[in-house]
A and B are shown apart, each in its own frame.
Chain A
Amino acid sequence: MFIITCPFCGERDQSEFAAGGEAHIVRPKQPTELSDDEWADFLFMRKNIKGVQFERWNHAHGCRKWFNVIRDTSNDKIHAVYKMGEKPPIK
């Protein structure tokens, strides 16, 4: 049960949030021009990183805003949070 700092509301218990998986997978602007393989890649394939992962979270039981979290999936340590559309504060 970690604590996530919502960029809009501040520190909250993890149970207030919904996880949204890997971040920065941009929905293709022109899906019809993708091959089946490329579309499958967007749709299903994930890095599923063990280590520092960029991911999406939603403050579902709070402000309902989506934002990004940089979290180490090997120990659940959160390195940074940032709003949608912002550049990651760390690489």
Chain B
Amino acid sequence: MSENFRSSETKFLDKTNRISFIYNGKKYYGYKGDTLASALLSNGVHLIGRSFKYHRPRGIMTCGSEEPNAIVQIGGNGSFTEPNVRATEQEIYEGLEASSQNCWPSVEFDVGGINNFISPVIPAGFYYKTFMWPRKLWYSLYEPAIRMSAGLGKSPTQPDPELYDHNHLHCDVLVVGGGISGIIAASISADNGNNTVLIDDKNSLGGSTIFQDDENFKIDDEISSVWLNNQIKNIKNKKNLIIKQRTSLAAYHSYNYLLARENLADHKSLNERANKLRQRLWKIRAKKVILATGAIERPLIFNNNDRPGVMLASSVKKYIDYFGVKCGNKNVIFTNNDSAYETAISLNKKGINVTIVDIRGKSSSVLVKNAKDAGIKIYWNHTVVDTKGYRRIKSIQIMEMSEDGTNVIGSKINLVCDNLSISGGWTPMVHLFTQSGGKLKFRDSDQVFLPNTATSDQINVGSCNGDFELDDIIKNTISDCKSFLSSSSTDFDLIKVSCPKQKENKNVWLLPNDKPLGKTKPFLDFQNDSTAKDIKLAMREGFRSIEHVKRYTTTGMGTDQGKLANMHALGIISETAGVKMGSLGTTTFRPPYTPLSFGTIVGRNVGTFFDIIRKTPMHTWHENHKAEFENVGQWKRAWYYPKTNESMNQAVQRESKAARESAGILDASTLGKIDIKGTDASEFLNRVYTNAWSKLGIGKCRYGLMLNEDGMVYDDGVTTRLSENHYLMTTTTGGAANVLSKLEDYLQTEWPELDVWLTSVTDHYATASVCGPNSKNILKKIFPNIEFNDENFPHMSFKNAELDGIYCRIMRISFTGEHSYEINIESKYGKSLWEKCMDAGKEFNITPYGTETMHLLRAEKGFIIVGQDTDGTMTPIDLQMDWIVSKKKYDFIGKRSLYRSDTMREDRKQLVGLLTDNPSEVLEEGAQIVQDEKKQPIEMLGHVTSSYFSPNLNKSIALAVVKNGKKLKGQKLLVPMKDKTIKVTVSDFIFFDNKNERLNA
């Protein structure tokens, strides 16, 4: 295809760099710097997509992020595919693939177009009123059908091959927007010695002034674009100014915390971007922020204003003046203000046929005079009442407006055209300002919302602050920046600006028509197909707030988030309700300003970096010995060590037997370890554990149970008294961080008088736990200097030791019920310790076991695991651990809560053992327990918390919590499963060696 619509001259594109791209399967050409929209327009392509609800043909309307219609799928079906990309923002690159969305089989002929014909029956909110009968069809037909019609583009179906990054940025002043006001602001800020950052979302700076080549607009006697071009060259050399292009501000949070997306690759070909970053999210903390986000042009709301070829006048100007692309050969400009005359003059200069329709009666602007002088026909006091052309506008009909603007009079005039440029005035982009918490005010003269009071240290300059004329923009930007930045003088203090001034304003939110509203289609939200009729219907039905109307009609809820539609929706609501526009408020502008990729938000925290992995010092040994791992919090713990062809069950049975018959070894390094020092350490333990600690001898160990203040079991572990004022506390693996936080909290806030110091040493020590009848013999080999007899080293005691000159701590404690030792050594020696144990244990068939076997062995002994046998609702009494709750102690955390009416009930759920009638049948953990299956509703007495086949007892055992369980000992209960019911008997929860003889064996 040739670029018939490219006019020859444009200095903004690199004409030596011709680029081919594919659109809907066809090859087209454009130039480096083109957006997909400008390149398509240069090829005469206007039809881009279909609207959401009625599937009406839609074209390119704008040249920026406010585009509601021209959104496409980029990147075909591959992993680079991206839905809903605005053709007006996507730069073309060699090989770019783009296709239309929401149409089948093609954008030219779309079956969904049938919706346009039934549109009279499906107004806003129709679905709330129907599909209710018959009820069955809702589930089988209506609801699935509604669901199927969802969406515009298509989600990728493969993982993203590209990379994203995050970076933090701190600056004195952040300037958002690289138009003329932003350039001036950044310049003043940098000159004033501030570290300044200027960000702009386009690939070139200068906003719309950079292509404003009109003798009427002069700055210091130069044409505005020339002056600005020099300024841009100037600021690029400023030392304390960073300029970030293709960077769009996404969100403005309180405390001047802002997020900006820098686009690094989307304009590059796939070859150029391989293995490079695609986008970077800047997390910015700015001391001061200057918003210079500009304004966007408003459309006009009239019948059939949505056809391809209907575009914003300022965009048409940008396409011709910046991209050198004409949007039609025969243009009509439809306006309510002077700015569109700039478009008319530009087009006229390029030899394009232009006619103007203006709803005002006159204008005294010099621009209008210039247009008249150029011979452009102007229809004053006229409005468009209809447009024709299905896939592209072909003609329009205009009529004269009545004096008050509410009606049309006279006869219709038909104007043939292939482009209709519309301009309804300007809307300041206050989105970011309101995101930051700023409040708006309404200016009646030109019906705009403006920044009023800010909650952050920031100002707004340029058209986003309501200045639409060049002299106001420049002078106010300079004076506002000076006072905001406390700058006494700037390079711009003597600036001279001349520009045309607009004197005649007229605004009609919904333009009058010769037909009743019901017979017309005046679109507000072009993407979601909501019309002025829908707004009025919503109001008729009692929806009055803007939020209600928006939600009922879906106005402003498309991918453009109502950048074009919202003002007109508000206008029509206020007109219909007869209230002042300013009193209605606006909808909330929510972040992000423009849609932001999930990948960008997440950055590098994907895959391996999703969450840190904590590994013990022995981890590589476990890996080398083919351990399977279990995630426990962030830790990887060895779960079991299968030998070749061994199932998990077989491995666990083998490990469990070996540990009891000879020796087993467990990596217990993940247990939380807190070093406690201070003269009040014992008193501190008295307060945080349920049992008493003052009398614990030096070198002795004690098991402790910690409660929440509400009396429920929180954590447990063994604490060792290392010396008079020095303890080592162990916690559960998962609870370590929380326990430390909790202890610090009490210490600092409730008991600051206690002399106690807490240090987390979990990562400082590796722990190997050696158990079994031969554990003593193994340790004897490793620590020949220690006497491992019961007198010298009894159960629940501790010894300092040395291994090859390295300090160790050995605790004789047991979680398996076997004679057992835990050896702590500095982490970096953990693996050697482990290997020494393995070597020394070889003759005793020392067997490494994982967490699963540990769970089994302790269950045989009836030891609880906090978090498995408890769930935050169990008191120590419920666990039949009355023995550990000191009656003598005046207070400890959670004590008072044990004496409330419910916690004192005798029939609470209590920890019991369960034995299945069939000893080989293993219960499912989590299974519920009942007494009577027949009675409805079934009363659930409790559930199975831990369950295993015990190789040492050769039968199935389980721990459970059962209502009134203490009294049910010996009774038969039922465990109803999905397909069968299992009979069980309540038993003691200690199944093995209940006299603890093996501890000293």
| A36 shortest CB reach to chain B, Å | 5
Instruction: Across the interface, name the chain A residue whose C-beta is closest to B455.
Output: A75
A34–B710 alpha-carbon span in the complex (Å): 14
Instruction: Across the interface, name the chain B residue whose C-beta is closest to A20.
Output: B745
Contact yes or no, A1 B896, CB < 8 A = no
| B675 shortest CB reach to chain A, Å | 14
- Give the residue of B744, B749, B896, B899 whose beta carbon is less than 8 angstroms from that of A64: B744
**Across the interface, which residues of B come within 8 angstroms of A2, CB to CB?**
254-255
Contact yes or no, B891 A75, CB < 8 A = no
Instruction: Across the interface, name the chain A residue whose C-beta is closest to B710.
Output: A43
**Across the interface, which residues of A come within 8 angstroms of B752, CB to CB?**
84-85
**Across the interface, which residues of B come within 8 angstroms of A28, CB to CB?**
896
A66-B748, A84-B749 known; A39+B253 contact, CB < 8 A: no
A3–B457 alpha-carbon span in the complex (Å): 14
Name the residue in B750, B896, B900 with the highest tally of chain A Cβ atoms < 10 Å from its Cβ.
B896
A76–B436 alpha-carbon span in the complex (Å): 12
Contact yes or no, B744 A32, CB < 8 A = no
- Give the residue of B257, B455, B709, B890 whose beta carbon is less than 8 angstroms from that of A1: B257
**Across the interface, which residues of A come within 8 angstroms of B254, CB to CB?**
1-2, 75-76
**Across the interface, which residues of A come within 8 angstroms of B257, CB to CB?**
1
Q: Which of B243-285 touch A at CB < 8 Å?
A: 253-255, 257, 285
| B171 shortest CB reach to chain A, Å | 15
In the assembled complex, B741 has its CB within 8 A of some CB on chain A: yes
- Give the residue of A13, A18, A32, A60 whose beta carbon is less than 8 angstroms from that of B896: A32
In the assembled complex, A51 has its CB within 8 A of some CB on chain B: no
A56–B746 alpha-carbon span in the complex (Å): 12
Instruction: Across the interface, name the chain A residue whose C-beta is closest to B901.
Output: A36
A18-B741, A75-B437 known; A39+B750 contact, CB < 8 A: no
Contact yes or no, B255 A1, CB < 8 A = yes
Instruction: Across the interface, name the chain A residue whose C-beta is closest to B892.
Output: A31
A71–B711 alpha-carbon span in the complex (Å): 31
A43–B711 alpha-carbon span in the complex (Å): 11
A32-B895, A85-B752 known; A58+B709 contact, CB < 8 A: no
| A80 shortest CB reach to chain B, Å | 16
In the assembled complex, B897 has its CB within 8 A of some CB on chain A: yes
A62–B701 alpha-carbon span in the complex (Å): 32
**Across the interface, which residues of A come within 8 angstroms of B901, CB to CB?**
36
A85–B571 alpha-carbon span in the complex (Å): 56
Instruction: Across the interface, name the chain A residue whose C-beta is closest to B740.
Output: A64
Name the residue in A3, A18, A31, A64 with the highest tally of chain B Cβ atoms < 10 Å from its Cβ.
A31
| B745 shortest CB reach to chain A, Å | 6
**Across the interface, which residues of B come within 8 angstroms of A18, CB to CB?**
741
Contact yes or no, B710 A31, CB < 8 A = no
In the assembled complex, A27 has its CB within 8 A of some CB on chain B: yes
A81–B897 alpha-carbon span in the complex (Å): 32
**Proximity bits, A22-48, B CB within 8 Å = 1, else 0:** 000011101110101001000100000
Name the residue in A1, A65, A85 with the highest tally of chain B Cβ atoms < 10 Å from its Cβ.
A1
Q: Which of B879-903 touch A at CB < 8 Å?
A: 890-891, 895-897, 899-901
| A32 shortest CB reach to chain B, Å | 6
- Give the residue of A43, A58, A76, A85 whose beta carbon is less than 8 angstroms from that of B745: A58
Instruction: Across the interface, name the chain A residue whose C-beta is closest to B744.
Output: A64
Contact yes or no, A43 B749, CB < 8 A = no
A31-B896, A60-B741, A84-B752 known; A43+B255 contact, CB < 8 A: no
| A82 shortest CB reach to chain B, Å | 13
Contact yes or no, A66 B749, CB < 8 A = yes
| B747 shortest CB reach to chain A, Å | 9
Contact yes or no, B744 A39, CB < 8 A = no
Contact yes or no, B749 A39, CB < 8 A = no
**Proximity bits, B37-71, A CB within 8 Å = 1, else 0:** 00000000000000000000000000000000000
**Across the interface, which residues of B come within 8 angstroms of A30, CB to CB?**
891
Q: Which of B859-918 touch A at CB < 8 Å?
A: 890-891, 895-897, 899-901
A34–B900 alpha-carbon span in the complex (Å): 11
Contact yes or no, A66 B896, CB < 8 A = no
**Across the interface, which residues of A come within 8 angstroms of B710, CB to CB?**
43
A35–B464 alpha-carbon span in the complex (Å): 61
Instruction: Across the interface, name the chain A residue whose C-beta is closest to B745.
Output: A66
| B518 shortest CB reach to chain A, Å | 45
Contact yes or no, A31 B744, CB < 8 A = no
A2–B455 alpha-carbon span in the complex (Å): 13
Contact yes or no, A65 B748, CB < 8 A = yes
**Across the interface, which residues of A come within 8 angstroms of B891, CB to CB?**
30-32
Q: Which of B430-469 touch A at CB < 8 Å?
A: 437, 455
**Across the interface, which residues of A come within 8 angstroms of B890, CB to CB?**
32
Contact yes or no, B895 A31, CB < 8 A = yes
Instruction: Across the interface, name the chain B residue whose C-beta is closest to A66.
Output: B748
| B445 shortest CB reach to chain A, Å | 31
A34–B899 alpha-carbon span in the complex (Å): 11
| B106 shortest CB reach to chain A, Å | 46
Instruction: Across the interface, name the chain B residue whose C-beta is closest to A34.
Output: B896
Instruction: Across the interface, name the chain A residue whose C-beta is closest to B902.
Output: A36
| A79 shortest CB reach to chain B, Å | 14
**Across the interface, which residues of B come within 8 angstroms of A34, CB to CB?**
896
| A52 shortest CB reach to chain B, Å | 16
| A64 shortest CB reach to chain B, Å | 6
A73–B445 alpha-carbon span in the complex (Å): 37
Contact yes or no, A3 B255, CB < 8 A = yes
A1–B890 alpha-carbon span in the complex (Å): 43
| A16 shortest CB reach to chain B, Å | 13
| B591 shortest CB reach to chain A, Å | 12
Instruction: Across the interface, name the chain A residue whose C-beta is closest to B893.
Output: A27
**Across the interface, which residues of A come within 8 angstroms of B896, CB to CB?**
28, 31-32, 34, 39
**Across the interface, which residues of B come within 8 angstroms of A31, CB to CB?**
891, 895-896
Contact yes or no, B749 A56, CB < 8 A = yes
A39-B896, A58-B741 known; A84+B748 contact, CB < 8 A: yes
**Across the interface, which residues of B come within 8 angstroms of A3, CB to CB?**
255, 285
Contact yes or no, B899 A32, CB < 8 A = yes
A60–B437 alpha-carbon span in the complex (Å): 28
| A43 shortest CB reach to chain B, Å | 6
**Across the interface, which residues of A come within 8 angstroms of B745, CB to CB?**
20, 58, 66
| B840 shortest CB reach to chain A, Å | 40
CB-defined A-B contacts under 8 Å, sample of 22: A1-B254, A1-B255, A1-B257, A2-B254, A2-B255, A13-B285, A26-B750, A28-B896, A30-B891, A32-B890, A32-B896, A32-B899, A39-B896, A39-B897, A43-B709, A58-B741, A64-B744, A65-B748, A66-B745, A75-B437, A75-B455, A76-B254
B interface list, Cβ under 8 A from A: 253-255, 257, 285, 437, 455, 709-710, 741, 744-745, 748-750, 752, 890-891, 895-897, 899-901
- Listed from nearest, the 8 A-B pairs whose CB atoms lie closest are A31-B896, A66-B748, A1-B257, A27-B750, A2-B255, A3-B255, A39-B896, A66-B749
13 other A-B residue contacts (CB within 8 Å) besides A28-B896, A58-B741, A58-B745 = A1-B253, A20-B745, A26-B750, A31-B891, A32-B891, A32-B895, A32-B896, A43-B709, A43-B897, A75-B254, A75-B455, A76-B255, A84-B748
